[in-house]
Amino acid sequence: MVHKSYNTNEKVTGVILAGGKGSRMNGEDKGLVNFRGEPLYRHVLARLQPQVAEVILSANRNGECYQKSGCRVLTDSFPGFAGPLAGMLAALQHITTDWAVFASCDTPFLPPDLVAQLWNGKSDAKAAWACSNGRDHPTHAIIHRDRVEMLEQYLQRGDRKLMFFLKEAGGVAVDFDDPDAFININTPEDLLVKRSRIPD
């Protein structure tokens, strides 16, 4: 059983985005790639779960493997592997909270206060994304569910760029101090280099 920490936000559902093709991982399902003895998504889940009311997994392959986590598993409702925005759309269509916070399945060093910082940093905005060292990390974002129709229309007109949508949705950037918080594992080489770079 996971014990929620003091900064749990019961207004927020966590969503781990694991629905990509894994093209830079030789077609492997990135969320299930072994990292330090566990699937990558498990590292993200362990860090995100204490911060939110519920965690949902967005996955278009290997649903039976992800279901072993005990979390709800959603596939894209928008056809054709439309990228992370399709996973975000499906989640916003199914959450029971007002807000969803998103995290990529390949970022095992996720900040333990991701939700708190995004929540406080968004102020009155309906969306916000993480930024560190001057670099945007738009797959790590918080979005209000009332943006769902806007997102559906955005995808229907053929747009796929996540940063453009977040800005169109009135989003703001939230700065994080930890330079390693959003390191991601994109390729087999990343597994070798980053497996030992950062301590547990």
For residue 89, give the nearest of 78, 80, 103 by alpha carbon: 78
Domain definitions of the chain by residue range? 9-194
**48-90: per-residue pLDDT in tens?**
999 999 999 999 999 899 999 999 999 988 876 668 999 999 9
DSSP symbol at 98: S
Give the DSSP letter of residue 49: G
Neighbours of 168 (CB within 10 A): 15
The sign one gets for the Cα dihedral 31, 32, 33, 36 is positive
Question: 13-17, 150-154, 174-178, 182-186: which range is least confident on average?
Answer: 182-186
Instruction: State if pTM tops 0.85.
Output: yes
Domain 9-194: CATH superfamily is Spore Coat Polysaccharide Biosynthesis Protein SpsA; Chain A (3.90.550.10)
**Residues 85-138: pLDDT tens digits?**
999 999 999 999 999 999 999 999 999 999 999 999 999 999 999 999 899 999
**Residue 33 to residue 62: CA distance in whole angstroms:** 12
Cβ neighbours of 163 (radius 10 Å): 13
Supply 191's token pair.
Answer: 């597994």
